[in-house]
Amino acid sequence: MKFKTRMLLIISSLIILGFLVSAISSFTISQQRALKSLTEQELPLVLNNVYSDIQRDLLKPQLVSSMMANDTFVHEWAENGELDIQSMSRYLQKIKQEYDLFSAFFVSENSQRYFYSEGVLKVISANTEADSWYYRFKDKQASSEINIDPDMGNQNQLAIFINVKVLDQAQQLMGITGVALNINNVTAKLQEYYFKYGKQVYFLDNNGEVILSSYHRNDAHKKLTKNALKAFITEMRQEKEGQFSYQLDDDHYLLQTRYIEELDLILCVEVQLDEINTPLIRELVIKLFVSFLLLSLILWLILKTINRYQEKLESIAWKDALTGLLNRHSFVDSYQIEHNRHQRNNHEMAILMIDIDLFKEINDKFGHLIGDQVLKYSAMSLKKVLRPSDVIARWGGEEFIVLLPDTALDQALLSAERMRKLIEAHQDLKGITISIGISMFCATQNMDGNIGIADRHLYRAKKQGRNCIVH
């Protein structure tokens, strides 16, 4: 065998051996990292997102139930002896249709009659198991509750009920009113979560039964799941949020749980651990196959991958991660470019400092997730007003800065007013407004000086009542 061939074989063998060691090591490390990311980031994040969505979906029915409990019609109708049953039926039918609810009801403390959209459903009794919810809730200190029960007004289909006490002026119980949500709609929502997050979502009751799930479980599967989770139920209820693992047949599962006290249910986000290995093993096989047959192609792919990640890193260096706008550092570079161009052409240039009004209150009231959404929506809205030549950046926190080259003051005011109106009218921004300070570029001032003038004008806009422009 020629020396050249031997060397080629030796080098190829070393490359293949090195690749095998690297691929196997990479597989092991990736497996560990994937598991760590799953347990510490993905599952808790998905659980929080699902929990937030569930709270949001139940907020509207909660408001409707509260409105019914304080409705003058309900109070006067009950106080006047419940004479016109049809008027109550029409009222409940209107509530049901207007808010797209499964059902709406009123149970009278005086007559013990259960009214729904079709009339009187029944007269409740403390001796009837199906009516025990009324007497249980009646004795509670809480003014409202959420539970899951069969809906007698809808052929005993399982429903989520939101119950609210109706109290007279003396704070005496007049009855209980509320609404019901179709459990099938909730199940469909859980399936949406599965397609959205790629994780199974379901609810457990106090006995470990899976009662609502994002995928179908036959009775045998439910029984096996119940037996596997039975030992964890008490701990799941005691801890507000926890993480558990269990084995079912030959499959291993990881659970992120949260006990929802209002429903007296345990919300679970589940992933099968084998699903982590499947894409990693597939990747390993592909790498091995390519290493033996297409070594040159691997080198090309590696170079391409490195270049791609380098582009991403460069993008991260000049972009704000949340809004996608330029960051402060990039704005400084853009400002210097426009400053130099201004010195050559002596054209006018405007600087806008923009601040979202009362942003801290938004974070405090709705949480930082909503606050981040407001920042992103605001950034997109502001960008719509600008020309390709204009420069916009996130200056910090809830502040944005805009550079308008070749722009006179009257043009800057028009652009600023368009921004203000667009934000004010944006349906996704929950009534958000902005304040804007404008300064015109002055060649005798440095960057900090020019921006400082716009910042002082922004401060004046805040002092003048917000949602305005000062120049």
Indicate if 328-470 has the same CATH topology as 63-183: no
Strands, E assignment, 250-381 = 251-260, 265-272, 349-356
pLDDT tops 70 at residue 220: no
- Please report the pLDDT score of residue 40 as a whole number: 81
208: confidence class by pLDDT, cuts 50, 70, 90: confident
Strand order in the sheet with 113-116: 119-123, 113-116, 103-108, 173-182, 157-167, 144-151
Tell me which of 73-77, 232-236, 366-370, 447-451 is least confident: 232-236
pLDDT tops 80 at residue 46: yes
What's the pLDDT tens digit per position in 324-372? 899 888 888 888 888 888 877 788 899 999 999 988 888 888 888 888 9
Query: For residue 139, which amino acid is it?
Result: D
Contact (CB, 8 A) for 189 and 92: no
Look up the CATH superfamily of 199-272.
Answer: PAS domain (3.30.450.20)
pLDDT tops 50 at residue 4: no
What's the pLDDT tens digit per position in 380-427? 989 999 998 899 999 988 999 999 999 999 999 999 999 999 888 876
pLDDT tops 90 at residue 174: yes
Looking at residue 129, the DSSP 8-state letter turns out to be G
Strands, E assignment, 94-216 = 103-108, 113-116, 119-123, 144-151, 157-167, 173-182, 200-204, 210-213
pLDDT tops 90 at residue 106: yes
Determine the topology of domain 328-470 in CATH: Alpha-Beta Plaits (3.30.70)
Mean pLDDT, residues 135-160 taken together? 82
Tell me which of 77-81, 164-168, 232-236, 420-424 is least confident: 232-236
Which residues have a Cβ under 8 Å from the Cβ of 337 and sit 6 or more positions away? none
Task: Identify which of 421, 425, 434, 463 has the alpha carbon closest to the alpha carbon of residue 352.
Answer: 434
Mean pLDDT, residues 252-264 taken together? 81
- Please report the pLDDT score of residue 460 as a whole number: 94
- Please report the pLDDT score of residue 199 as a whole number: 85
pLDDT tops 90 at residue 204: no
Provide the residue ranges of all domains of the chain, joining segments of one domain with +.
63-183, 199-272, 328-470
Indicate the pairing of strand 173-182 with strand 144-151.
unpaired
pLDDT tops 90 at residue 301: no
State how far the alpha carbon of 254 is from the alpha carbons of 34, 43, 189, 432, in Å.
13, 9, 22, 40
Count of CA atoms in the C-beta half-sphere (13 A) of 174:
23
User: Cα–Cα distance between 247 and 352 in angstroms, integer?
Assistant: 59
Which residues have a Cβ under 8 Å from the Cβ of 451 and sit 6 or more positions away? 351, 353, 401, 439
Mean pLDDT, residues 369-376 taken together? 89
- Please report the pLDDT score of residue 187 as a whole number: 78
461: confidence class by pLDDT, cuts 50, 70, 90: very high
Q: Model pTM?
A: 0.45
pLDDT tops 70 at residue 218: no
- Please report the pLDDT score of residue 464 as a whole number: 92
Mean model confidence pLDDT for the chain? 83
In CATH, 63-183 is 3.30.450.20 = yes
Q: Which of 57-71, 106-120, 295-309 has the highest mean pLDDT?
A: 106-120
User: Cα–Cα distance between 297 and 34 in angstroms, integer?
Assistant: 27
Which residues have a Cβ under 8 Å from the Cβ of 143 and sit 6 or more positions away? 164, 165, 167
pLDDT tops 90 at residue 71: yes
Residue % of the chain over a pLDDT of 70: 84
